[in-house]
């Protein structure tokens, strides 16, 4: 693959969650191009599975969409160095009130590779214990529980459109199917 070279990176705006940069790039044909970059410190998300097999979901208002969405619990890292598992545990407890025993990395995704470097590590949490939500002053989150089949149907019906949530649910569904198939082989 031919080489791309960044000639300049200029901070255009600094935000609470993201920073916006404009890069001047030298592209393989010798021309220069201006490319936008949204710099994000990263995030973590959780597929939280109750003993009855239902998944905890959060319903909250999203300003960018001007409506409520149904999502898995998730949130940004407190800093680039924060371990994502710590952030996943924190967000699970803050948003749902639950803590968990077991936690394993389920998937890692980049949300919008064309212009944003946000990476979300998605964890699977089991052995849940109920507690109390710890919401920020500007957060209003309702916790709901659904079966895996109900959530898959909501994805197929375009009722769930959040990319991290779709990826997480479908990855978890594939894991469950693989485990069932492996169990039948034995």
Q: What are the tens digits of pLDDT across the range 88-123?
A: 999 999 999 999 998 999 999 999 999 999 999 999
Average pLDDT over residues 52-60: 97
Alpha helix (H) residue ranges in the chain? 84-96, 148-156, 163-185
Average pLDDT over residues 37-66: 96
pLDDT tier, 135 (very low <50, low <70, confident <90, very high otherwise) = confident
Provide the CATH number for the domain formed by 43-185 in this structure.
3.90.79.10
Residue 136: the pLDDT is 79
Q: Is the pLDDT of residue 1 over 60?
A: no
Q: Is the pLDDT of residue 186 over 70?
A: no
CA-CA distance, 62 to 161, in Å (whole number)?
Answer: 12
Q: Annotated catalytic sites, by residue?
A: 137
Residue 78: the pLDDT is 92
Q: Is the pLDDT of residue 2 over 80?
A: no
pTM of the predicted model as reported, rounded to 2 decimal places: 0.91
CA-CA distance, 20 to 130, in Å (whole number)?
Answer: 39
Among 165, 168, 170, which residue's Cα sits nearest to residue 149?
170
Average pLDDT over residues 139-164: 96
Residue 174: the pLDDT is 97
- 130 by Cβ neighbours in 10 Å (0-12 / 13-18 / 19+) ranks as exposed
**pLDDT per residue as tens digits for the range 4-48:** 999 999 999 999 889 999 999 999 999 999 999 999 999 999 999
CATH 3.90.79.10 residue ranges of the chain are 43-185
């Amino acid at each position: 693959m031919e080489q791309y070279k960044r000639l300049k990176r200029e901070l255009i705006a600094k935000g609470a969650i993201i920073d916006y940069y404009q890069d001047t790039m030298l592209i393989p044909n010798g021309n220069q191009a201006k490319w936008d970059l949204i710099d994000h410190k990263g995030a973590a998300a959780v597929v939280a599975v109750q003993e009855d097999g239902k998944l905890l979901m959060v319903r909250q208002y999203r300003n960018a969409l001007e409506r409520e969405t149904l999502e898995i619990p998730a949130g940004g890292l407190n800093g680039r160095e924060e371990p994502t598992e710590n952030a996943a545990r924190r967000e699970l407890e803050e948003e749902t009130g639950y803590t968990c025993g077991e936690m394993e990395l389920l998937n890692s995704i980049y949300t919008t590779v064309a212009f944003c470097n946000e990476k979300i590590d998605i964890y699977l949490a089991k052995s849940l214990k109920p507690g109390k939500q710890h919401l920020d002053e500007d957060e209003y989150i309702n916790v709901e529980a659904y079966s895996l089949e109900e959530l898959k149907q909501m994805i197929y019906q375009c009722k769930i459109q959040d990319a991290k949530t779709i990826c997480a649910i479908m990855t978890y569904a594939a894991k469950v199917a693989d485990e069932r198939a492996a169990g039948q082989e034995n």
